[in-house]
């Protein structure tokens, strides 16, 4: 895992999400792309001339993009000083999920900021879920009080034996291997697809993290109660990072979070690593 992607929420200074993403990229000895997406839209109702509004909106987009372009050299110098390789500062206009999806193919990890109290819709649990789903990238989710530097003393993994949980654990390998302590909360029951190969947790741990602890946990019904128990167990273990699959389903063109993911995103005070269900 080397190339990190993050949405910049500000232009004038590097926001907390960008600062954390830069430190993660430096820790992984990788690169960082920060993208500021200028929102495009008009008021739904207005007494003003529509043509004037369109022209004013276009000028505002152009102004913000010009401001972004003026920050390229400063961003490069700052990120390079932290040890980031080949940093890039980009700007565009439109839908953030679409912009990040466009860039996702050349990146390995997305960093997203989570703040349910923010006016920015992309900071909400639903917004973060959509970004993770749109990009298809493993996503580090940082709550609003997170430190710039991701601690890795204790990494906790939620496990239910599914391909989604396995994908999340595998994506977390660089963090798991740097952790002082790794605890897997094993709530796997009977295989949901008995005709398919079994996903062997213990073999994976033997290959990548032989010192990991495996603790049983009551999986529940896979709804919000399961999310609450997973989050409570991670807190009891003083987790610095909770790794889990991000479950959900498509509703027309939107991404609807599953109960476990919805609860954890709505209540977490811990950094998360999510891998959405393919």
pLDDT at 259: 79
Listed residues 141, 166, 191: the one ending a domain = 141
**Residue matched to tokens 């610095």:** 240
- Please indicate, yes or no, whether residues 134 and 231 belong to a single structural domain of this protein: no
CB 156 within 8 A of CB 230: no
Query: Would residue 87 count as lying in a domain?
Result: yes
**Residue matched to tokens 């027309």:** 252
Tokens of 247: 């479950």
Q: CA-CA distance, 144 to 116, in Å (whole number)?
A: 9
Per-residue pLDDT of the chain (278 residues; tens, 9 = 90+): 689 999 999 888 899 999 999 999 999 999 999 999 988 754 554 555 556 555 666 677 677 777 888 899 999 999 999 999 999 999 988 899 999 999 999 999 999 999 989 999 999 999 999 999 999 999 999 999 988 888 899 999 999 998 999 999 999 999 999 999 999 999 987 777 888 898 999 999 999 999 999 999 987 766 778 889 999 999 999 999 999 998 655 443 344 556 788 889 999 999 999 998 66
pLDDT at 253: 39
Query: Would residue 171 count as lying in a domain?
Result: yes
Tokens of 150: 């991701």
pLDDT at 57: 62
- Please indicate, yes or no, whether residues 8 and 129 belong to a single structural domain of this protein: yes
Give the count of beta carbons closer than 10 Å to the beta carbon of residue 259.
18
- Please indicate, yes or no, whether residues 88 and 172 belong to a single structural domain of this protein: no
What is the pTM (predicted TM-score) of this model? 0.89
pLDDT at 231: 94
> Residue 180 is part of which domain span?
154-276
- Please indicate, yes or no, whether residues 119 and 164 belong to a single structural domain of this protein: no
Query: Would residue 241 count as lying in a domain?
Result: yes
- Of 146, 163, 211, 153, the C-alpha closest to 184 is 211
- Please indicate, yes or no, whether residues 8 and 120 belong to a single structural domain of this protein: yes
**Residue matched to tokens 């080397």:** 2
Domains of the chain: total: 2
Q: CA-CA distance, 236 to 98, in Å (whole number)?
A: 38
User: For the residues of 33-101, what is the DSSP string, one character each?
Assistant: EEEEEE-----SS-SS-HHHHHHHHHHHHHHHHHHHHTTHHHHHHHHHHTT-SS-EEEEEES-HHHHHH
- Please indicate, yes or no, whether residues 180 and 206 belong to a single structural domain of this protein: yes
């Amino acid at each position: 895992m080397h190339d990190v992607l993050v949405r910049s929420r500000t232009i004038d200074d590097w926001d907390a999400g960008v600062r954390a993403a830069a430190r993660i990229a430096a820790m992984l000895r990788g690169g960082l792309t920060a993208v500021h997406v200028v929102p495009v839209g008009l008021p739904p109702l207005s007494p003003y001339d529509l043509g004037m509004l369109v022209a004013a909106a276009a000028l505002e987009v152009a102004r913000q993009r010009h401001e972004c372009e003026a920050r390229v050299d400063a961003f490069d110098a700052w990120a390079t000083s932290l040890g980031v390789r080949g940093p890039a500062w980009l700007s565009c206009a439109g839908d953030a999920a679409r912009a990040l999806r466009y860039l996702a193919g050349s990146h390995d990890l997305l960093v997203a900021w989570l703040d349910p109290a923010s006016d920015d819709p992309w900071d909400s649990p639903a917004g973060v879920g959509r970004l993770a789903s749109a990009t298809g990238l493993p996503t580090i989710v940082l709550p609003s009080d997170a430190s710039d530097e991701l601690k890795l003393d204790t990494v906790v993994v939620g496990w239910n034996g599914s391909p989604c949980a396995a994908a999340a654990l595998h994506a977390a390998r660089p963090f798991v291997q740097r952790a002082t302590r790794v605890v897997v909360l094993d709530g796997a029951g009977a295989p949901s697809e008995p005709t398919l190969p079994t996903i062997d947790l213990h073999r994976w741990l033997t290959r990548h993290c032989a010192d990991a602890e495996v603790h049983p946990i009551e999986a529940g019904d896979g709804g919000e109660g399961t999310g609450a128990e997973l989050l409570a167990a991670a807190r009891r273990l003083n987790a610095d990072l909770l790794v889990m699959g991000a479950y959900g389903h498509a509703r027309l063109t939107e991404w609807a979070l599953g109960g476990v993911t919805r609860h954890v995103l709505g209540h977490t005070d811990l950094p998360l690593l999510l891998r959405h269900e393919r």
